[in-house]
Amino acid sequence: MKILKKIYDLLRVASRPVVTQFAFFVGFWALITCSTFGYMFAYLDSWPSIKCALKYLCIGTMVAYGATLLVAVSKRGAMRAAVKTLFYTVAMVLLSAYAFLWQNFEMKISPHVLTLIAETNSSETSEFFDAYLLNEHSYIAYATIAGVLVLLVLLEWRSRVINAQVLRRHWFRRVMLGVVAIMLIVAAAKSYMFVTLAACANSADMDRWEEKHEPWPADLITATVYSFNSLRAARGDVALAVRQARAVFNTPVSVNESDTLDVIYVLGESYIKWHTPLYGYDHNTTPRLLEEQRRGNLYVFTDVISPYNATSVAEKNTFSCNSMMDGENWFEKPMFPTVFRHAGFNVYFWDMQRSYQKHKMYTMTVNAFVYNPEIARLSYSDTVAKKIYFDATLIDNFRDSARVARGKYNLVMFHLLGQHVNAKDRFPDLAKFHRFTKDSVTITGKWLNEKSRQYIADYDNATYYNDVVMSRIFKMYRNRNAVVVYYSDHGDEAYDYRDQKGRFGHDNPDSLHLKYQNDIPFMIWCSDRYKQLHPEVVKNLEASLNRPFMIDNACQVLFHVAGIKTPYYRPERDLLSPSFKPVKRKVYYKYDYDSRRWPKHKSNGDKKWK
C-alpha cells in the first residue's frame, strides 16, 4: 500500500502543472494534435490506422505536457507570458502551414515539402503566392486559422477562471490525473522512437524508421522534428557515396569500340512531355527534333517515367547505378561517370545548375554529392565553373573550349535549366523565341485567364528554345561517331488540367498528377556514322521504343550505347537489351505507377477522366 501511495503522490505532483495551467495545456495540445485527430476521423473504419493515431495522440500529450511544465515553472508575469507566447506562436505557425498545405494540395508537413520549399527561389515564391494566396482553398484555411485564433484568445482570456474551476473540483483533478498518467505512460513507452530517429545515419535508415513508425499521423511538432531530421540524416549518404566511387577502380572494365566514340548525356529540367508534338501536342514546339526523327536519327521512347517530381532526389537516383525497385539506394552504388572514367573515357560535366541558386538547400544537397572533391576527382576530366544564364550559351561554351574532339572516348554531360520555373526566364528575350502567344494557347479550362495563358505560351517558348539547344548539340556531333541520350529529371504542370503550375504534392497522386509530373520525354539520337558502325544497337533501339522504363536505371542504357563491360551493367535493367525485364514501377518509393496511370488510349487534352 505504501508503494501505491507513493506512486499516487508522484502522479499527483506530476499532474500538477496540467491542473494549474489547464487552459494552456488544452489549447496547446489541441493545436498540435488537430492533424492527428483529422487522420483518425478519416480512417475510422481501419483499426490499425486508429491505433497508430492513438499512439501519436499520446506522444502529442507528452509534448504538450513538456510545454506546460515549462510554463508552470517559469516566473509569473512577463516571463510566463513570454513562454506561453513562444509555444503558441510555434504551434500556430505549424497549424497555419498544415492548413494551407492541406487545403491547397492535400499535403502534410514532411521532408518532401521542405525539399520543395528549399528548391523554390524568390521569384517562384512570389509567383506561388500570386497563384495560391487568394483562392477558395486558401480562404478556407484562413477562416480555420482565424477561428482557432479567436478560440485561443478566449481560452487565454478566461484561463484564470478555468484554472481556478479545475483546482476546486477534486473529482475532475483525479480524472485528469488518471487520463494524463495513462497517456504519459504510453508515450514514455513509445518515446524510444525519438532515440532511433536521432540515430538514423542516412536516408535508408530514415526509410526503415518511417516504415516501422508511420510518422504521418504524428502531431505537428513530431512531424516537423521528423522532417528536419530526414534532411540531417541525408548528409550521411555522401560519405557512403565516396566509398562507392573509390570501389569502382577495383573492378574490371573494357570498351567494345575500335573507333573514336562520343557519348553525350543531356539531363533536361521540368519538361512536360505533352508539350511537344513528339507526344501529340498541337503546338510545334520542337520542329528540329521532329526533323531529326523524320531523318531516322532520333528515337523517341513512349513510356518512361521519373520516380520523383523533385530535382534533388531524381538527379541522385539517375546519376547513380542503383535500381530503386531492387531496393538499392543511390549512395550504395557509384555514379555512372565514375565508371566511364575508369573505362578510359574523358568525362566532361557542363552543368547549368551548379551555380544556379547555389545557396539553396536543393543545390547544396546535390552539389555535395556530384561535386564532392573526392567524387569529382574520380569522375570528371573537367567541369565548368562559370555561371551561365542560358542553355545554348552552355553548349557554345563547351564547343569553344575545344574539348569536342579531345580524346578517343568522350562522355560529355550537359545538365540544362530547360523549362524550369519561371519559363519566361529560360530563353533570351528575342523575337525569334517568342514563337507562341497567349492567344495561340489551345488548352481550354474555366481556370484559365490571361496570366495563365501567357504562362503556357512562355512554357511552350521555353520548349521551343530547348529544341534549339538540342539542335546545337546534334550539329556539334553530326559528323562523328556519336550518340546522344536525352531525358528530363521530372515533368511539371502549366495549367494543363487544373489551376496549377509547377510541382506540388505527391501524397496519393492521381493519374493526371503522374501524367504531367512524372511522365517524361526520353529520346536517343544517333549520328549516321554511329548507326553505320552499330547496327545491332540501332536494332535494339527500334525494338524498345514502347517498353516501360524508369530513369533510375538510365546508366544501363548509357553502358549499352557506349559498349562498356562492367560489373555494374545489368542487362535485365537495360531498356535496350533483349534481356530487359520490366518491373513494377513505384513513384515516390511507394505508389504503383502502372496501376494508377492514365489510360493510354485517351488523347492529350481530354480533361474528363482521372
The amino acid present at 202, given as its one-letter code, is: N
Q: pLDDT tens digits for 172-202?
A: 767 767 777 777 777 777 778 888 888 887 7
- Average pLDDT (36-59) is 84
316 CB neighbour count, 10 Å cutoff: 25
Residues contacting residue 53 through CB under 8 Å, at least 6 positions apart: 36, 37, 39, 40, 43, 217
Element holding 163 (H helix, E strand): helix 159-168
Q: Which residue has the higher pLDDT, 362 or 153?
A: 153
Q: What percent of the chain has pLDDT over 70?
A: 90
The predicted pLDDT at position 604 comes to 39
CA distances from 464 to 311, 495, 577 (A): 22, 18, 32
- Average pLDDT (61-88) is 89
Question: Cβ(217)–Cβ(36) under 8 Å?
Answer: yes
For the chain, the residue count is 610
Q: pLDDT tens digits for 85-109?
A: 999 999 999 998 888 888 777 777 7
Residues contacting residue 141 through CB under 8 Å, at least 6 positions apart: 96, 99, 100, 102, 103, 104
Q: What is the DSSP letter of 601?
A: T
Indicate the range of 10-24, 352-366, 473-487 predicted with least confidence.
Answer: 352-366
The predicted pLDDT at position 227 comes to 84
CA angle 309, 310, 311 (to 5 degrees): 125
Closest Cα to residue 411, out of 199, 598, 294, 262?
Answer: 262
Indicate the range of 46-55, 174-183, 402-411 predicted with least confidence.
Answer: 174-183
- Asked if the model's pLDDT at residue 73 lies above 60, the reply is yes
The amino acid present at 251, given as its one-letter code, is: T
CB half-sphere exposure, 381, CA atoms < 13 A: 19
The amino acid present at 280, given as its one-letter code, is: G
Q: What percent of the chain has pLDDT over 90?
A: 51
Q: Which residue has the higher pLDDT, 355 or 535?
A: 535
String of DSSP letters for 455-520: HHHHHHHHHHHHHHHHHHHHHHHTTSSEEEEEEES----BSSSSS-BS----SS--HHHHHHHTB-
Q: Which residue has the higher pLDDT, 453 or 608?
A: 453
b/e string for 128-161 if b means 16 or more Cβ within 10 A? Answer: beebbeeeebbeebbebbeebeeebeeebeebee
* Cross-strand pairs, 549: 304
Average pLDDT, the chain: 87
Indicate the range of 149-153, 188-192, 561-565 predicted with least confidence.
Answer: 188-192
Label residue 606 by pLDDT band (50, 70, 90). Answer: very low
Q: Which residue has the higher pLDDT, 299 or 11?
A: 299
- Average pLDDT (251-277) is 96
The predicted pLDDT at position 125 comes to 60
Label residue 222 by pLDDT band (50, 70, 90). Answer: confident
Burial, 492: exposed, middle or buried (Cβ in 10 Å; 0-12, 13-18, 19+)? buried
Alpha helix stretches (DSSP H) within 371-449: 373-379, 391-400
- Average pLDDT (479-508) is 90
Q: pLDDT tens digits for 278-311?
A: 999 999 999 999 999 999 999 999 999 999 998 8
Q: Which residue has the higher pLDDT, 376 or 403?
A: 376
The predicted pLDDT at position 158 comes to 80
Closest Cα to residue 202, out of 227, 226, 225, 234?
Answer: 234
Q: Which residue has the higher pLDDT, 398 or 311?
A: 398
- Asked if the model's pLDDT at residue 608 lies above 80, the reply is no
The predicted pLDDT at position 15 comes to 73
- Average pLDDT (573-601) is 89
- Average pLDDT (201-228) is 80
Q: pLDDT tens digits for 131-142?
A: 677 777 788 888
Cell reading at 133: 494566396
- Asked if the model's pLDDT at residue 34 lies above 60, the reply is yes
Q: Which residue has the higher pLDDT, 224 or 539?
A: 539
CA distance 492 to 521: 12
- Asked if the model's pLDDT at residue 379 lies above 90, the reply is yes
CA distance 116 to 99: 17
